[in-house]
A = this chain, B = another copy of it.
Amino acid sequence: MKHLYDCILGEKRTEVILATDVASITSHIETTIRSVLWVCDTNTVKFLATDSQKTVVLPSGEEAKSWQSIENIVAAAVKLRLARDGFIVAFGGGVVCDTAAFAASIYMRGCQLILIPTTLLSQVDASLGGKTAIDVFTIKNLVGTFYPAKHVFVCPTIVKSLPEKEFKNGLGETLKHALLAQDQSLMEFFENQQRAIMRRDAMVLERMVIDSLQVKRFYIEADPREEIGIRSALNLGHTFAHALESAGNLNEWAHGEAVAWGVAKALESGLKLKITDHVFAERALRLFESYGFNIGYRVRHIERFMLALEGDKKRKSGAVRFVMLSNQGKIRLETLEDQIIKSVISRT
């Protein structure tokens, strides 16, 4: 195991640790920490050789992000007599990490928290940055906190065994990070190492995860609580993606695929508005295509899509500001006219 760096989020810091295999992480935690409550889901429980008294197993999927899960975790913590200096350890994907982290942030006004993300998406996204949440009244992430983990264990080799759809899910976000990076090295890496990445070679996976996390780190350290418009760069592609998902395609698209499509639409909007550098945009669009993302997908029910966007706007008490890129790593927040949006989503 190797200490990579401390990510500084305001007053809090998260130690990021690189691990070569899961077994070494769990045994390290079991031997060094006295008081631990494990939180996993029905998919990841089989990789945990922990005492069932000390383990909460959540259902798999988004429905686990519920108050019921929080109650179950808190009940188990009380039963274990977990104190404020005790640890809740999340072992799973984004849903498990978000839910366990929210529980840790409110149990006794905050106990200790470790995240072990087990998907590519959660390794490069949910693990770092302190956003915790559950869904309430079917509204995604309506309730949550900012509560950075004390330690995050990143184990890129886990990615080898992910189903194809889950791998692509994470790939969409890592490619997004390549565009947001302050230099072109991650972009070049994706261009040059495509075959090794698709084969999921251990060495390239490690570099992909570490470098992608560094991009996230750059934005969240500059703006930990998303207050000054820098952290929102990470939402690149997400406004388009959420509208696509809400407009009835929620189960058809993996989230990472919707994000890849959304990033493409943000680039195309930028081209139309002459905000985005032409060479950069073409190169980025080619990259997504070369990894098999369907960025040319045309929305058929345009009005339904526009309504979904409208819903976003209402919740945010004002105009929706899209994250746009003028060039590699250079963001701008812009409102977009309906005409531009309609034209890029239907490619007229």
Contact = CB atoms under 8 A, between A and B. Distances in A.
Interface of A: 10-11, 35, 67, 71, 74-75, 78, 81, 83, 85-86, 105-110, 131-133, 136-137, 139, 141-146, 314-318
Contact of A109 (B11, B78, B110, B145): B145
Contacts of A85: 317
Given A71-B136, A109-B146, 17 more contacts: A11-B11, A35-B317, A74-B136, A74-B137, A74-B142, A75-B137, A83-B317, A105-B145, A106-B106, A106-B144, A107-B142, A107-B143, A109-B131, A109-B141, A109-B145, A110-B146, A145-B145
Contacts of A141: 109
Given A109-B131, A136-B71, A317 B81 contact: yes
B109 A144 contact: yes
Contact of A142 (B78, B316, B318): B78
10 contacts: A35-B317, A67-B71, A74-B137, A81-B315, A83-B318, A85-B317, A106-B143, A108-B143, A108-B144, A110-B145
B74 A143 contact: yes
Q: How many monomers of this protein are in the complex?
A: 2
Nearest to A75: B137
Nearest to A133: B109
Contacts of A142: 74, 78, 107-108
A35 B85 CA distance: 38
Contacts of A315: 81, 83
A131 B86 CA distance: 20
A316 B108 CA distance: 11
B78 A137 contact: yes
A45 B109 CA distance: 29
A81 B143 contact: no
